[in-house]
Structure 1
Amino acid sequence: MRKVYKYVTLTTQGFLVLATGVMVVIVILEVVLRYGFNTGFSWSEELSRFLFIALSFIGASEALRRGQHVSVSIFIDMLPSGVKRKVRFIVRVFMVLFLLLFAYSSFLLLKKFHFQLAPALRISMAWPHSALFLGAILMLFQLLWVMLKGSNGEEDSKSLLKDEV
């Protein structure tokens, strides 16, 4: 299981780096072409928008892995450690339920947008919308990993991966 976790994490990180690089190059090239040569690509804005959406949703799983999502824990931090663990577990169960619902809803969207084409790129709109589904599945994977590791003594997701990946 640890190998699968490491593979998924490294693949996610690789995609994020590649997508960020492609998006930066496309945007810089488009700015240079538009303002330097009064021309440009018709598809650059659309592709950079799709890449930004993918970065947001898939990057959310990496943020979850690192424990970097915004949270308000002032009241939880005031609780005794036993109660704190139970509250965090309950919150994580609700997060799993939300992510399952989000993944299911985004999968339904994929089926609806399958035949619709992007105006400039002329690709199926299922491709950009797949970032929602993939992001939900990756966040669910990371959250379940945190919960499994938490049951082995590592409760806080922030301290979970200091020695991993």
Structure 2
Amino acid sequence: MKRLEHIFVVLNGWALILMLAAMTLIVGANISLRYLTGHSLPWADEAARYLMIWMTFGGAGLVLRIGGHVAITNLQDALPDIGQKIMRAAIALGLLIFFGFMVYVGLQYAQRMQYQVTPALRLPFLYVYAAMPVGFGLLILHLLLIAHPFITAGTYKRRDGDAGEAAALPGGANG
């Protein structure tokens, strides 16, 4: 299971790297063409915007894994140990319910937009709005994989001393 989790995290990280690289190349080529030839790619801004949307939703789970989202812990820190665990379990459950709801809403929204196409690329908006259910689905998986150490210890680290998945990300200590 640990190996599958590692593969999942690395693949998620590499997908983000590839999207960022594509966005960089597209924007860089568009800028170069604009200054060198006086013409730009009509679809470059649109493609970069949609890649950014996919990166945002696709990367949220990796940020969750390392505790990178905003957290206010004053109340939790004021509670005794058992109260902290109960609060973290309630938070994890609340997040899981919210993420599941957003997958449902995202699927409905993407299906409603499947026949409308983007202005420049002429892609069905389904492919753009699919980022939402896919991203929240990834958030569910990441949350389930870190829920135990988060609830029991308030960390994103495993008991076996592993420094969490931050090191497994591409460009990390082990990636």
With normalisation by structure 2, the TM-score equals: 0.86
1:36 CA displacement: 3.1
- Measured in 1, the distance between the counterparts of 2:2 and 2:138 equals 15
Asked whether the 8 Å contact 2:150–2:156 carries over to 1, the reply is no
Note if 1:159 corresponds to 2:157.
yes
- Residue 113 of structure 1 aligns with an amino acid whose one-letter code is M
Q: Within 2, Cα distance between the matches of 1:157 and 1:94? A: 18
Q: Following TM superposition, by how much is the alpha carbon of 1:150 offset from its aligned partner in structure 2, in angstroms? A: 4.7
Corresponding letter in the other structure for 2:101: L
Matched residue SS, 1:55: helix
Secondary structure of the corresponding residue to residue 159 of structure 1: coil
Distance in 1 (alpha carbons) for counterparts of 2:155 and 2:19 = 26
Counterpart secondary structure, 2:56: helix
The yes-or-no answer on 1:62 pairing with 2:69 is no
Q: CA deviation at 1:158?
A: 3.2
Specify the code of the residue in structure 1 equivalent to 2:38: N
State how 1:1-150 maps to structure 2 within 5 Å.
1-150=1-150
Distance 2:108 2:131 in 1: 13
SS in 1 for 2:130: helix
Alignment gaps of 5+ in structure 1: none
| 1:43–1:121 contact (8 Å) kept in structure 2 | yes
Q: What is the CA-CA distance between 1:118 and the residue it aligns to?
A: 1.2
Letter in 2 for 1:162: A
**Cα distance change, pair 146–158 in 1 and its aligned pair in 2 (3 A):** closer
Question: Displacement, 1:162?
Answer: 1.2
User: Is the 1:65–1:142 contact (alpha carbons within 8 Å) kept by the matching residues of 2?
Assistant: yes
Q: Which runs of 5+ in 2 are unaligned?
A: 169-175
1:4 offset after TM fit, Å?
2.8
Tell me how far 1:113 sits from its aligned partner: 1.2
Deviation of residue 80 (structure 1)? 1.3
Contact 2:30 2:40 in 1 (8 A): yes
Give the ranges of 4+ consecutive aligned residues of structure 1 lying more than 6 Å apart after TM superposition. none
Letter in 2 for 1:158: Y
Structure 1 residue 135: Cα displacement: 0.6
Alpha-carbon distance in structure 2 between the residues aligned to 1:157 and 1:61: 15
- C-alpha contact 1:43 1:120 (8 A) present in aligned 2: yes
* Distance apart, 1:46 and its partner CA: 0.5
C-alpha separation in 1, matches of 2:88 and 2:20: 33
* Cα offsets for 1:145-165 (capped at 9, x unmatched): 1124457x5x33433461543
CA distance in 2, matches of 1:91, 1:108: 26
